[in-house]
Structure 1
Amino acid sequence: MLDTLDLQLLHALQLDGRAPFSKIAEVLDVSDRTVARRYGRLRGSGVVRVTGTLDSHRAGHAEWLLRLRVHPRHTGAVAGALARRPDTAWVSVLSSGAEIVCLVRVPAGGPAPLEALARHPQILDVTSQRLLRHLMDHRWLGRTSALTAEQITALRPPDTSDIATVTLTDLDRRLFPALAADGRAAYPHLAREAGWSESAVRRRLNELRRSRLLQLDVEVDPTLFGFSVQCLLWLTVTPSRLTAVTHTLAADPETAFVGAITGQHNLIAIVICRDSETLYTHLTDRVSTLPGVERTETALITSYTKRVAPP
């Protein structure tokens, strides 16, 4: 479990994944060394990682949710192969042990890679749904509730939404893999990985952040916060009630992600609960009673094979 300082540090990094430890330490009223040591311990134990990914919407990329049915004895191998693909953002294994769900990002107008996956000998069936829009403007409240309003204001980067659109360059294509591995990587390391000068990398990284093409996030296991159950929800909602249902779900503390999708369902959500009893109560007393919700399908997430800033 995490203590109060750990929770504050993770909330601070969620606000700005590359915030200097000195700035975080000043806001939290502790020493720089304490903050650096805490992050080093969390990072070194493998339970926390800051990631830097391309904002698909701003880059004009399409996102596809792929649902694959596989031979149970080959689930690990298939999930691992998907995780190694550069176009997958995250890969999860569901509780049945024979189903995998992953998010794939492709250039705008490009199709989901169904043909290649359908030929895989261990994949029995694959379906796709286009993720049309992310419908939450905040992160899961379970990991972003440790700071005061004043501390949040002090740590939040300035709003730069008026910055002109930035076109991706060859340097960006070299930087993003390194940032996906470590969003807090130092400039000398990024320069070595990209094969460019440190000054060019520093300048370009600042441009990517101002344009919001670079999306920094914190990967952390929810069990560290005392939440042991994660669940995928596919919802069929009456179109006229879609906005109301979305706003209600997004405000729930259990909700980590809500998105609009194509297919027989029109919403997908990820909820995180303390235990199975809490999940049952949330589904029966909350989700199923929302006006407009016609059908719900649920699947427990047992593991993530790849988690590059999942919601």
Structure 2
Amino acid sequence: MHDMARLDNLDRRVVHALQVNPRASWAQVGAVLGIDPVTAARRWGRLRDEGIAWMTAYATSVGDQGPMALVEIESAGQSLEIATRLVDDPECATIDITSGGRDLLLTVASRDRAALTGYLLQRIGTLDRIRAIRTHLVTRVITEGAGWRLNSLTDAEQSRLRESTDASARAHPRALTEDEHAVLAGLVTDGRAPTAKLAERTGLSPRRVRDLVRDLLRSERLTLRTELQAEASGWPIYAWFFLRVPASAANTISPRLGSLTEVRTVLQIAGPCNVIMAVWLKELTDVSKLEAAIESQLRDVEIVDRSVVLQAAKRTGVVLDPTGRRLRNIPIKP
């Protein structure tokens, strides 16, 4: 059965609600969507249990710089084998098997620059059956997939769901404490885990857990990410674009790229292609249409290369099956 048939309009509205506020109560979701809370919970439970939609958690970097890298691999025809060997590595957040000038594209992260370098050289660099490896260090994250939305809710409905953030905490970011790391570990596999369950796992009091989760989310030091199978989203074509932008214009153009509906990720890179972005599209022909739109609207942007993803083996710490459904979560470093 085609997976789009498994998401009706109400399914999509429930998923969008949890994209806006992943820990909204079912009473709040139901009130905004005009349905019974039990119905909202049941809809999400079915999608989650079938691996069509899921939620995960990861610490937001202190500041907007790495340590991250995009790694292109030419695999001598062994893409699936290499992806299988790397899929459980916590440093390897995303693994895409692609067409075009690379066979795999990895998103790699670690706790600091030295650890990232060690992983790139000692793990990736020593893999056999590889023709070539090209590494691009990320200098700035402009847009990430956690901000991508289904657009099934009105602006007013989203506003009713949206949690406030603490601007002062964002202005003075701080590393996670031991207790905060413990809470994060409990949220990795289930971002909607009840406070009581998190308290049991961490040994902290329910009130302490509730306060920690609230502070982490309001300070934006914790990202809770609601995702779904690309095919079921209605945007099944996943592609990467490699762009060259004048350095003087990169900080202006990159956010404009990130505002495009199709764009999920925009990264500034230290390299000849200084902006790399990931997009979800409805049709394969939309790849060339998006290129034409970018070239006509952003004259300074040169599209150097592009790759369509044939299979996503892992997305932001979540291992996927060949159809793009969730199998299991692997905590992301850092």
Q: TM-score surpassing 0.5?
A: yes
Aligned to 2:247: 239
Aligned residue pairs total 307
Pick from 8, 17, 22 the counterpart of residue 12 of structure 1. Answer: 17
Provide the secondary structure at the position in 2 that maps to 1:217.
Answer: strand
Aligned to 1:42: 47
Which string of whole-angstrom CA distances, capped at 9 and with x for unpartnered residues, describes residues 159-205 of structure 1?
21213544323334444344222211223443454455544433332
| Cα drift, residue 137 of structure 1 | 7.9
Q: Which runs of 5+ in 1 are unaligned?
A: none
Aligned to 1:104: 108
Structure 1 letter corresponding to 2:129: Q
Aligned to 1:119: 126
Question: RMSD over aligned Cα, in angstroms?
Answer: 2.6
Pick from 132, 136, 140 the counterpart of residue 129 of structure 1. Answer: 136
* 1:287–1:70 Cα change, 3 Å: same
Aligned to 2:154: 148
- Answer whether contact 1:89 1:307 (CA < 8 A) is retained: yes
The runs of at least 4 consecutive aligned structure 1 residues that moved more than 6 Å come to: none
TM-score (norm 1): 0.88
| Cα drift, residue 125 of structure 1 | 2.7
Correspondence 1:29-108 to 2 at 5 A = 29-58=34-63, 61-73=66-78, 75-95=79-99, 99-108=103-112
Task: Supply the distance in 2 between the matched residues of 1:149 and 1:31 (Cα, whole angstroms).
Answer: 21
Aligned to 2:235: 227
Provide the secondary structure at the position in 2 that maps to 1:133.
Answer: strand
* 1:59–1:194 Cα change, 3 Å: farther
Task: Supply the distance in 1 between the matched residues of 2:143 and 2:261 (Cα, whole angstroms).
Answer: 12
| Cα drift, residue 232 of structure 1 | 0.3
Task: Supply the distance in 2 between the matched residues of 1:253 and 1:309 (Cα, whole angstroms).
Answer: 24
TM-score (norm 2): 0.82
Correspondence 1:276-291 to 2 at 5 A = 276-283=284-291, 285-289=292-296, 290-291=298-299
Identity %: 25
Task: Supply the distance in 1 between the matched residues of 2:151 and 2:280 (Cα, whole angstroms).
Answer: 15
| Cα drift, residue 71 of structure 1 | 3.3
Greater alpha carbon shift after TM alignment, 150-159 vs 101-110: 101-110
- Answer whether contact 1:238 1:294 (CA < 8 A) is retained: no
- Answer whether contact 2:69 2:138 (CA < 8 A) is retained: yes
* 1:167–1:228 Cα change, 3 Å: closer
Q: Which runs of 5+ in 2 are unaligned?
A: 319-334
Aligned to 2:283: 275
Structure 2 letter corresponding to 1:150: A
Greater alpha carbon shift after TM alignment, 261-270 vs 251-260: 251-260
Task: Supply the distance in 2 between the matched residues of 1:97 and 1:258 (Cα, whole angstroms).
Answer: 19
Provide the secondary structure at the position in 2 that maps to 1:27.
Answer: helix
